[in-house]
Amino acid sequence: MSLSQGVRVKVPASTANLGPGFDTLGMALSLYSWIEMKASERTVFHLHGDEMGGLPKDKSNLIYKVAQMVFEEAGQAVPELEISMYSEIPLTRGLGSSASAIVGALAAANALIGSPLPDSKLFDMATNLEKHPDNVGASLFGGIITAVWDGTHADYMRIEPPANLGTLVVIPHFELATSKAREALPAQVSLADAVYNISRSSLMAAALSAGRLDLIRTAMKDRVHQPYRAPLVPGMSKILDEAPDHGALGIALSGAGPAMIALVDRDEPRVQELSAYLVETMKAEGIVSSCYSLNPVAEGVQLLDDINNRSFLDMIRGEVTA
Ligand SMILES: Nc1ncnc2c1ncn2[C@@H]1O[C@H](COP(=O)(O)OP(=O)(O)O)[C@@H](O)[C@H]1O
Ligand SMILES: N[C@@H](CCOP(=O)(O)O)C(=O)O
């Protein structure tokens, strides 16, 4: 790749926490953003897709700012950029749009200057920006990740998603900024609640590693963040209680919400019933929502090699199926 040629990356969305693994567990999902980055004479943005409306088209854009951090870290100056982006990841719904933007920008900028920074460095930079490693780890490495952040460095283990694991994601048609959903959390939790979550988060990671889908119903429960966020998402407490009786293996708030993610066995015959239950329960609370069947994806951010073969928009037309 050369500076004038530019680079393209494709980065997955993610769901964080998986219930008990607050700021720890994350899983990459089959919903994507694409970024093209080229050195340019002046900085210009081409933002495509419904999800990009309202984002800045100048040097205050997150993608530009993150790219400059990479160039600075690598000791190379690329002050002006032409950036194209298309995203199918809804903003502020709990599907890691900010993490995917950060990871996509880090990966594209690093590739543009010949990939001087290793993935471990990109992970530390991404976590430092996002402040928790769960979403960024999943978007960077793909699959399921369990991660630890000490304020400077992030360590992680990647888990291959079980072959039969699918998801249903119900996305309410309202925004909830992660910052607002974090403000709802208490500064301290009880020892009993800490034990409740540590035990379930550990069980969740082990069960997913071993493909023990039968343990998810017990493992996916949480007492550290969901009870405090429930007032922000009408219908959430009812859905978390009842969805396993409608065919979910387990269910949790996706990241900081307001989306909720049900883990399902792909052979589960009641998936349609579950989807209808999720949407109807939200509707009874006066909330319009959409329900998507998304798959865990094994691959994290990818560098695409077709930049000379077709335009950015032709590539998007070929890639987006929904
Ligand atoms: N492609 C992007 N370019 C610039 N900023 C983005 C992009 N994607 C997300 N963001 C920023 O991230 C914010 C959403 O992040 P957040 O509140 O953490 O929700 P989530 O990550 O769950 O979608 C957006 O409001 C926007 O400021
Ligand atoms: N662990 C974080 C995850 C936030 O994820 P997002 O997709 O909502 O940004 C939290 O729960 O606050």
Question: Is the same domain home to 111 and 224?
Answer: no
Q: Which residues contact 231 (CB under 8 A, 6 or more apart)?
A: 184
Same domain, 272 and 308: no
Report mean pLDDT in 10-residue bins for the chain, 322 residues: 78 98 98 97 93 90 98 95 96 97 98 97 98 97 98 97 98 96 98 98 98 98 98 97 97 98 96 98 97 98 90 88 55
3-state helix, strand, coil in the chain (%, to 5): 40, 25, 35
In the block, residue with structure tokens 């929904």: 322
Q: Evaluate: CB of 256 within 6 angstroms of ligand 2.
A: yes
- 241: CA distance to ligand 2 center in Å? 21
Decide if 1 is inside a domain: no
Using a 6 Å cutoff on CB, does residue 223 contact ligand 2? no
- Per the structure block, which two tokens stand in for 234? 């009408």
- 153 and 203 part of one domain: no
Residue 2's SS3 state is coil
**215 and 260 co-located in one domain:** yes
Q: Specify if 2 maps to a domain.
A: no
Pairing of strands 81-87, 44-48: parallel
Q: What is the CATH number of the domain that holds 134?
A: 3.30.230.10
Domain count, the chain: 2
Write down the pLDDT at residue 250.
98
CATH code for position 286:
3.30.70.890
Residue 173: domain span: 165-294
Give pLDDT, residue 2.
Answer: 53
User: What per-residue confidence (pLDDT) applies to 4?
Assistant: 56
Nearest CA to ligand 2 atom 1: 23
Residues 251, 260 contacting (CB under 8 angstroms)? yes
What global pTM score does this model have? Answer: 0.96
61 lies in a domain? yes
pLDDT computed for residue 44 by the predictor: 96
At 41 the pLDDT is: 95
pLDDT of amino acid 49? 86
Pocket probe mutation, ligand 2, options 132, 136, 197, max atoms within 8 Å of Cβ? 132
Same domain, 127 and 215: no
Residues 185 and 285 in one domain: yes
pLDDT score at 215: 98
By DSSP bridging, strand 165-172 and strand 289-294 are antiparallel
Do 213 and 100 belong together in one domain? no
Tokens of 22: 């607050």
- Ligand 1 centroid – CA 131 distance (Å): 14
Q: Is 92 annotated as a binding residue?
A: yes
Decide: helix, strand or coil at residue 165: strand
Co-location of 290 and 223 in the same domain: yes
Q: What is residue 195's predicted lDDT score, i.e. its pLDDT?
A: 98
